[in-house]
């Protein structure tokens, strides 16, 4: 069975650890990246089955990264789950407009993130 890969782009170490633990236990290979500026390179280096992308990142926002991702022909169809502490309608609308497949606000439940990841990758 082909290993299913998730790239988690998030700069909070303890959130990274918790998500990695939950998904790994479910059979996912979880790679992580913390810097917004080099996130796209990390995605290009080995295209994952799913990107979990935080909005507030150092050096570049998740919205900008998503915009660049969708503009890249080779990466444009990669599923993206956006995570954010800002849950207002306009943030959700912006994420959808830029091409996020799903939008989740913090704090989220472990079950919720696991279910969503399974749904997006299938």
Residues that bind other proteins (CB under 8 A): 12, 14-15, 17-19, 21-22, 56, 85-86, 106-110
Closest approach of other proteins to the CB of residue 86, in Å? 8
Please identify, using beta-carbon distances, which residue of 57 and 78 lies nearer to other proteins. 57
CA distance 81 to 58: 18
Smallest gap from residue 46 Cβ to other proteins (A): 26
**Residue 112 is encoded by which pair of tokens?**
């919720």
Neighbouring residues of 50: CB distance < 8 A, sequence distance ≥ 6? 5, 6, 7, 78, 79, 80, 81, 117, 120, 121
By C-beta, is 38 or 105 nearer to other proteins?
Answer: 105
CB of 65 to other proteins, least distance (A): 17
Q: What percent helix, strand, coil does the chain show, rounded to 5? A: 45, 20, 35
Q: Smallest distance from the beta carbon of 74 to other proteins, in angstroms?
A: 32
3-state secondary structure of 58: coil
Beta carbons of 90 and 61 less than 8 angstroms apart = no
**By C-beta, is 12 or 35 nearer to other proteins?**
12
Q: Which is nearer to other proteins, 11 or 68 (CB)?
A: 11
């Amino acid at each position: 069975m082909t290993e299913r890969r998730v790239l988690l782009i998030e700069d909070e170490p303890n959130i990274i650890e918790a998500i990695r633990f939950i998904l790994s236990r479910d059979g996912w290979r979880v790679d992580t990246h913390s810097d917004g500026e080099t996130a796209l390179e990390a995605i290009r280096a080995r295209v994952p089955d799913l990107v979990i992308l935080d909005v507030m990142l150092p050096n570049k926002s998740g919205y900008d990264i998503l915009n660049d991702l969708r503009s890249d022909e080779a990466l444009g169809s990669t599923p993206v789950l956006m995570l954010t502490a800002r849950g207002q309608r306009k943030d959700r609308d912006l994420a959808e407009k830029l091409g996020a497949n799903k939008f989740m606000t913090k704090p989220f439940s472990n079950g919720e993130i696991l279910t969503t990841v399974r749904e997006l990758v299938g």
